[in-house]
Structure 1
Amino acid sequence: MNELLHINSTSMDDFITAMTTEDPLSLLPSSTTEEDYDYDKFADMMCDRESVRNFRGNFEPPLFWLIAIIGGAGNLAVVWIYLHFRRRLKTMTDVYLLNLAVADLLFLVTLPLWAAEASHSWIFGTALCKINSALYKVNLFSSMLLLTCISVDRYIVIVQTTKAQNTQLKRRHYSRLVCVGVWLLAVVLATPELVFAEPAQAESMTYCRMVFPANVGNRTKILVLSLQVSMGFCLPFIVMAFCYSVIVAKLLKTRNFQKHKAMRVILAVVVVFVVSQLPYNAMLVVEVSQASNMTVTDCKAVKRLDVARQILKSIAYMHACINPFLYVFVGVRFRNDILHMLQCCFCIPTQTKKPPGKFRSPLSSTRATVMSDSDTSQALSL
């Protein structure tokens, strides 16, 4: 009790910073200098978060492993198809989809380590803590930016058809440069993780978290969260909403019988993106507000926010295993390639092709998905 009475105002400000770090379990280093106070013990005395840690230990590991297995299988299949059928890398969207699958795979690699941390503790050291945290952020930003690029390319192909056909080769060359730029920007945006991520002690458990210096913790945390919300959600959402709304308006003016399928795919893409990403990013905005002026001080309310954050974060992570089914496997050509892959792996006999009897229109023969280019301007059908 005497120790608490001697905490000066500076230490109290620093404690507020520690209580509002990126994760509720994030704590500042447990030294006893003027700059760094033993906030682990102080935080437990103010608000016991043992129930939150127990919830996370039971909830996250099985879900993270499920996401990693399903998403890994789906994205590996996408990479295999693109590398095996080189002809597929002939459009900008194909290049973006391949990079998106790689980004999702690298993101999914981090989930088993987070699952192990939630179950037992962080036992992998400081270097792997920094690498794993940075890898997570690199692929979070790259995935969102690549989804944005896909929506822009679909806008060009469907809305600006003539321009897309006349500049197809040039656009394919630019797509590679755009992908390089996306990865470089994602690495830059993940720099805070390389700098500040390190193992932090909380009672008998160790967690890999962002540990900010006491003198700049609040400002740095607000900046990091603001970058994640703006670049990881707001910018992609604004661009996707504009592109797909214009595409839908274009489709409504056509008389193509395939437009309804195309619109369903677009609707699914937008709905899944909003449902999976909006709640979690809204929670990050709450964290920014909490870091700015400590809006929530009641211990029970804080713990409810902690649990809600864990659930919404897991929902946002599911996007990595849904992407292959939303953007790739909806296409007939890709489903045929998946069947061919299974035939090769399990020695399933191939079916004999039917002779071309009836005349088929170019649209029905290409059967291009709304997420893949077609040699024609009507790249809409499934």
Structure 2
Amino acid sequence: MMLPSSNTSGGGGGAAATEQCIVNDQMGPFIVLYVLVFVIGLPGNLLSLWTFIRSPRAEQQSTSVYLINLLAADLLLLLALPIKILKDLGGAPWSLMVFHCQASAVTIYISLYASIAFLAFIIIDRYLQDCHTVRSLRLQEVGFARLLSLVVWLLLLLIMVPNMALPIQHVQEQRYLSCSSLKIDISLHWHALTIFLCTALFVNASAAVLISSGLALKRLLGSRKDPELWVHARRVARSVTAVALAYILSFVPYHVVRTPYTLTQTKVITDCHTKRQLFLGKESTLLLSVLHLCFDPLLCFYLHSPFRQTLRQMFSCCRKQTFSDTEEQSAEEMMEPAASG
């Protein structure tokens, strides 16, 4: 078995020492938590998407467009998550581990940054609902929201897909595969560029989130003398602040660790202990980011009234059907003794 950090010398005449550093041999707790996220997140997101499809006003609001795209990004991540779990177990077939590094890991990051963008759009849209200027109304048009969503997906695909297509090098089969070990120089350079571009996207989205949250709170404080305006401004500020806090807790820690971890992948940082610590930090904060899969269905319920109405109608129909079935069964049971008598 390969040790996490070992120095081995060749036999005979003092060959040069070689060092092997394994960073991903402590994935047990992460695997359990990822499985829980998958088991909780998949039913909630499928139910949310189905409810949106059944909703008669599913895409008549800009918020609806962003929420549907957010759910699509979540389902994309949920599809890729089982492959990551199998790879992290360390006993998956070699071809599946390589496939994860080339395809499913990239899919996870496409979904992650799509979620960041659409959550930012939702926060901005919630603030714009409190503004009634001509410009804000134009930004809230459904056509504009669809165009903006399409631009986000195309931009992420343009940045990320080359990571799938660039050539890889052949390495010896091993239990713990580090994806960066498969990359040749040009692949590593593009990977570093991808991280830089995605971090820039995150910084811009975070700036928009903070500005929108600040303006919503400012408008709330400025409407204290008008009771009707205060109620509306308080509702908007509360929703904006709640989503902004979830955004910050989910994605800021990951990006604090992401840049120094990338330096270990590009071989700028070579100390094994440092690499192991940064890898554990990256996996911990990535798990924190993935947790939004469990809370996004609640976000849909909280922010979108047609979604709530459709969901309540669905459950009320189910309760009525269950009640009628129970009545029929009870009537049949009461008729049986009378018939036998």
Smaller-chain TM-score bracket? 0.7 to 0.9
CA deviations on 1:295-345 (whole Å, 9 max, x unpaired) are 562x33332222222211111111232222234335565444323333445
State the shift of 1:98 in Å. Answer: 0.7
Q: Give the Cα separation in 2 of the matches to 1:114 and 1:288.
A: 19
- SS at 1:230 equivalent: helix
Long gaps (5+) in structure 2: 1-8, 325-341
Indicate the residue corresponding to 1:237 in structure 2.
Answer: 206
Indicate the residue corresponding to 1:372 in structure 2.
Answer: none
Match of 2:260 among 283, 286, 289: 286
State the shift of 1:128 in Å. Answer: 6.3
Percent of residue pairs identical: 21
Cα pair 1:130 1:197 within 8 Å, conserved: no
Cα pair 2:169 2:184 within 8 Å, conserved: no
State the shift of 1:60 in Å. Answer: 2.1
Cα pair 1:134 1:193 within 8 Å, conserved: yes
Indicate the residue corresponding to 2:34 in structure 1.
Answer: 64
Q: Give the Cα separation in 2 of the matches to 1:121 and 1:283.
A: 27
Amino acid at match of 1:149: F
CA deviations on 1:22-68 (whole Å, 9 max, x unpaired) are xxxxxxxxxxxxxxxxxxx9442xx4x3xx53321x12222112112
Of residues 92-101 and 68-77 in structure 1, the stretch that sits farther from structure 2 once superposed is 68-77
Cα pair 1:95 1:176 within 8 Å, conserved: yes
Amino acid at match of 2:109: K
Amino acid at match of 1:239: A
Matches within 5 A, 1:94-105: 94-105=64-75
Indicate the residue corresponding to 1:257 in structure 2.
Answer: 231
Long gaps (5+) in structure 1: 8-40, 351-382
Match of 1:272 among 227, 230, 246: 246
Structure (1/2) with the larger helix percentage: 2
Matches within 5 A, 1:142-157: 142-157=114-129
| Alignment partner of 1:90 is 2:60 | yes
Relative to structure 1, the CA distance from residue 316 to residue 131 in structure 2 (aligned partners, 3 Å threshold; closer, same or farther) is same
Q: C-alpha root-mean-square deviation of aligned residues, in Å?
A: 3.3
Cα pair 1:198 1:209 within 8 Å, conserved: no
Cα pair 1:122 1:208 within 8 Å, conserved: no
Cα pair 2:163 2:190 within 8 Å, conserved: no
State the shift of 1:283 in Å. Answer: 0.7
Match of 2:296 among 320, 323, 333: 323
Relative to structure 1, the CA distance from residue 342 to residue 289 in structure 2 (aligned partners, 3 Å threshold; closer, same or farther) is same
- Give me the TM-score of the superposition, normalised by structure 1: 0.69
Indicate the residue corresponding to 2:281 in structure 1.
Answer: 308
Q: Give the Cα separation in 2 of the matches to 1:109 and 1:293.
A: 31
| Alignment partner of 1:223 is 2:193 | yes
Cα pair 2:124 2:209 within 8 Å, conserved: yes
Indicate the residue corresponding to 2:329 in structure 1.
Answer: none
Match of 1:181 among 151, 154, 157: 151
Cα pair 2:130 2:232 within 8 Å, conserved: no
Cα pair 1:129 1:197 within 8 Å, conserved: no
Cα pair 2:77 2:111 within 8 Å, conserved: yes
- Give me the TM-score of the superposition, normalised by structure 2: 0.76
Q: Give the Cα separation in 1 of the matches to 2:99 and 2:25.
A: 26
Cα pair 2:24 2:176 within 8 Å, conserved: no
Relative to structure 1, the CA distance from residue 328 to residue 236 in structure 2 (aligned partners, 3 Å threshold; closer, same or farther) is farther
Relative to structure 1, the CA distance from residue 348 to residue 158 in structure 2 (aligned partners, 3 Å threshold; closer, same or farther) is farther
State the shift of 1:348 in Å. Answer: 4.7
Query: How many aligned positions are there?
Result: 306
State the shift of 1:153 in Å. Answer: 2.5
State the shift of 1:111 in Å. Answer: 0.8
State the shift of 1:204 in Å. Answer: 3.2
